[in-house]
Amino acid sequence: MTTSFGTGPHPVRLALTGDLDYDTCGELLLRVRAALDGRREVTDLHLDCRELGLVDSMGLSTLLEIHRRAGRDGIAFHLEGVGPALRRLLELTGTYEYLTSPQRSGPRPESGRGRT
């Protein structure tokens, strides 16, 4: 899996390529943390999945964890470019609407993000 970053003052965009599985999900979490930590002005996180290959259960778990953390930090999560295989996985697991509906699920903390 590789990621590429496109950042501006408010949105952070990561383009994912390759597979998101047991071997690569830790790397994605580290890259997301690196992209968001220290940027208090980030309002939106976009994960572009157009070039994403296989996504296994660990990959799905990682997407859910990123979604949860973004919501906790008051950052809107956007899963974009969902291909047929990923869509099928998300629909079978009942997570499609949860991960693809734009939302901000948590209050923005007043001091620090508290990311771990």
Please tell me the distance from the alpha carbon of residue 26 to that of residue 52, in angstroms, as a whole number: 16
* pLDDT band with cut points at 50, 70 and 90 for residue 1: low
| Counted domains in the chain | 1
What is the 3-state secondary structure of the chain? CEEEEEECCCEEEEEEEEEECCCCHHHHHHHHHHHHCCCCCCCEEEEEEEEEEEECHHHHHHHHHHHHHHHHCCCEEEEECCCHHHHHHHHHCCCHHHHHCCCCCCCCCCCCCCCC
Across the range 28-42, mean pLDDT stands at: 84
Residue 112 lies in a domain: no
pLDDT band at 111 (very low <50, low <70, confident <90, very high): very low
- CA distances for 75 relative to 31, 38, 78, angstroms: 16, 13, 10
Find the mean pLDDT for residues 30-48: 85
pLDDT given at position 106: 53
Taking only the tens place, the pLDDT of each residue in 52-98 is: 999 999 999 999 999 999 999 889 999 999 999 999 999 999 999 99
At 108 the pLDDT is 55
Domain assignment of residue 106, yes or no: no
Range of 19-33, 40-54, 90-104 with top mean pLDDT: 19-33
Using a pLDDT cut of 90, give the percent of the chain over it. 60
Q: CB neighbours (10 Å) of residue 72?
A: 16
| pLDDT in the model for residue 114 | 46
- Residue 6 belongs to what domain range? 2-100
Examine residue 113 and state whether it is found in any structural domain, yes or no: no
